[in-house]
Amino acid sequence: MGTALDQLLDVLDLERIDADIFRGSNEASDWARLFGGQVAAQALAAAQRTVDGYPVHSLHGYFLRGGNPSVPVVYTVDRIRDGASFTTRRVVALQDGKAIFNTSISFHRVEAGFDHQAQMPDVPGPEELPTWEERARAVIDDIPEERRDWMLQERAIDIRSALPHGMFSSEPSTEPNPVWLRANGDVPDDPDVHAQLLTYASDIAFVDNMHRPHRRAGSPGVMLASLDHAVWFHRPVRVDDWLLYHQHSPSAAGARGFALGAVYDRSGVHLASVAQEGVMREIDPNLVRSGER
């Protein structure tokens, strides 16, 4: 069956069913909805299969419906433009004939140009932060029994954050959240695959930043769901070594939250930027969450 990373790489290796139509399997999950990062990464993989020689430089997507983990996703690619410097693709992800995700992806021919960047924040290194499993085991008795196996299972992406996820803590915070991540195993030496894995990882717990300033013990349940997701690739990315994903939420209003992230390698090079808006509503915790937004 392979490691968790092997299984994720298999999920990202799409089946081509026509020139610009692809089908993707899903990660094994007992959650009611597909993980958005998987859908975004598969959409990128589909677009990459129609572009020759140009690396991705940006992805802008909208989550339209909650995906069903038990149904394969079909990706249709629209070759909007093939230019001398930039190439653009539109990708729609479909289940049962309905769009669940829509994205525009742009590719840029490698060329020299002006170069500057902000300095990487001074934060604790990954070795100083607890693993996801260590955080989970510290509060395992407080986690619903049906979720404990999922909380402790092997993960394709090793994530170590300075601030605990909302599943581990009700403490509020307005501080930025430094998150270190890397692939949990060997990754093929293919820049397209590394970009796919960063796209996947960039959505892990990112929406949680929007609710973090408002946490309080005993508060009503909260519905959090990503509405859109954007990734800008400034420089070549490799996910087989630690990357700092520095996250914060500058605003929330009107039942929507907003989060920003910057991705650096360990030497301080700014590799990518991420932005996301999500719906954020207080709900009766006794009600079943709906996939509708």
Question: Tens digits of per-residue pLDDT, 255-288?
Answer: 999 999 999 999 999 999 999 999 999 886 655 4
Catalytic residue (choose from 203, 208, 247, 249):
203
Residue 292 domain-assigned (yes or no): no
Any catalytic annotation for residue 226? yes
Q: Which amino acid makes up residue 25? A: S
Question: Tens digits of per-residue pLDDT, 161-203?
Answer: 998 887 778 889 999 999 999 999 999 999 999 999 999 999 9
What pTM does this model have? Answer: 0.93
Q: What is the CATH number of the domain that holds 197?
A: 2.40.160.210
Helix, strand, coil proportions of the chain in percent (round to 5)?
A: 20, 35, 45
Measure Cα distances from 41 to 13, 49, 142, 173, 194 in Å: 10, 13, 32, 30, 10
Catalytic residue (choose from 202, 226, 247, 249):
226
Label residues 186-198 b or e (16+ Cβ within 10 Å = b). Answer: ebeeeebbbbbbb
Average pLDDT, the chain: 92
Which residue range is the domain that position 22 belongs to?
Answer: 4-118+129-283
Any catalytic annotation for residue 276? yes
- pLDDT for residue 96: 96
Q: How many domains does the chain have?
A: 1
What are the structure tokens assigned to 78, written together? 């629209």
Measure Cα distances from 256 to 103, 224, 281 in Å: 20, 9, 8
Residue 230 domain-assigned (yes or no): yes
Residue 288 domain-assigned (yes or no): no
Residue 289 domain-assigned (yes or no): no
The Cα–Cα gap between 240 and 97 comes to 36
Question: Tens digits of per-residue pLDDT, 99-134?
Answer: 999 999 999 999 999 999 999 999 999 999 998 888
